[in-house]
């Protein structure tokens, strides 16, 4: 059985001292449960230090970046290239988060370009897809997220698709005031996403693409969500922003995996 991916993105939070305190708290539980694959995605200014802190403490925790340009270099002020990501030691690239789509003009097309660039440089794209509350109310949630996923994977060879991680994050479930998806909602969406992958690439490839659920994941609902078919991991928000809380969550999950 593949290790469950259990991770978090800090968004625009934490200074260097706060990040190192987080790493120290996580190190108290080293080695982390072998049946899980933790990951942490800090702000870019902290990625190298967090990566090195995990390595020094013997923590098997992947690191990533929250965004990346698709070009290797050029006149793109404020952007980060795949080569810069590799310099930090990070291996994951979060792409297409709903906040990037809403506030920074991310589109299905740029998500595809970034995913292809990440793969070209040996990085793992963590592609975020999700439906809005209005799309949920209109009954087009499945259509929306399948379209986003297919657009992100367009033009990729099947073996490249197998190196991608997909995170389903309903927009109405994320954030401080988000309401987590019910088990039935999460089950239905993950089954639909798996079926779409199977239809496009066959069962062998579909089985290799981890499907994560994200959106108001916490200590109370994590185990139930992970028990659902085709939920291969969790993309956690605030419940994992404290190192001790994240460690406890990992230990709790490990008892059932």
Whether 18 sits among the annotated catalytic residues: the reply is no
C-alpha 97/C-alpha 104 separation (Å) is: 10
Contact (Cβ atoms closer than 8 angstroms) between residue 237 and residue 197: no
Q: Which of 69, 135, 169, 190 is catalytic?
A: 169
For residue 133, the number of C-alpha atoms closer than 13 Å in the C-beta half-sphere is: 7
Packing angle of the helix pair 141-153, 108-120 (nearest 10 deg)? 40
Q: Half-sphere exposure of residue 220, counting CA atoms within 13 Å on the CB side? A: 4
Q: Is 11 exposed, middle or buried (0-12, 13-18, 19+ CB in 10 A)?
A: middle
User: In degrees to the nearest 10, what's the CA dihedral of 23, 70, 159, 207?
Assistant: 50
Cα within 13 Å of Cα(78), Cβ side? 1
Assess whether 207 carries a catalytic annotation.
no
The full DSSP string for 211-252 is EEEESS--TTTHHHHHTSTT--EEEE-GGGSSHHHHHHHHHH
The active-site residue, picked from 97, 106, 135, 190, is 97
Point out the residues that are catalytic.
Answer: 97, 169
């Amino acid at each position: 059985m593949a290790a469950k991916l259990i991770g978090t993105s800090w968004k625009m939070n934490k200074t260097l001292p706060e990040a190192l305190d987080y790493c120290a708290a996580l190190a108290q539980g080293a080695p982390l449960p072998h049946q899980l694959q933790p990951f942490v995605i800090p702000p870019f200014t902290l990625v190298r230090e967090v990566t090195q802190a995990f390595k020094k403490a013997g923590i098997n925790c992947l690191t990533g970046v929250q965004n990346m340009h698709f070009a290797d270099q050029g006149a793109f002020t404020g952007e980060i290239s795949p080569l810069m990501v590799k310099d930090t030691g990070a291996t994951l690239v979060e792409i297409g988060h709903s906040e990037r789509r809403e506030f920074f003009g991310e589109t299905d097309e740029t998500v595809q370009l970034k995913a292809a660039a990440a793969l070209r440089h040996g990085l793992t794209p963590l592609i975020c897809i999700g439906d809005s509350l209005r799309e949920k109310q209109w009954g087009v949630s499945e259509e929306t997220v399948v379209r986003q996923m297919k657009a992100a994977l367009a033009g990729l060879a099947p073996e490249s698709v197998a190196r991608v991680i997909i995170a389903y994050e309903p927009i109405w479930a994320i954030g401080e005031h988000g309401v987590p998806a019910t088990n039935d909602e999460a089950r239905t969406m993950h089954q639909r996403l798996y079926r779409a992958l199977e239809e496009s690439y066959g069962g062998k490839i579909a089985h290799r693409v981890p499907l994560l659920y994200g959106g108001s994941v916490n200590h109370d609902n994590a185990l139930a969500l992970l028990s659902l078919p085709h939920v291969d991991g969790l993309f956690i928000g605030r419940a994992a922003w404290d190192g001790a809380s994240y460690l406890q969550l990992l230990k709790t999950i490990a008892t059932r995996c």
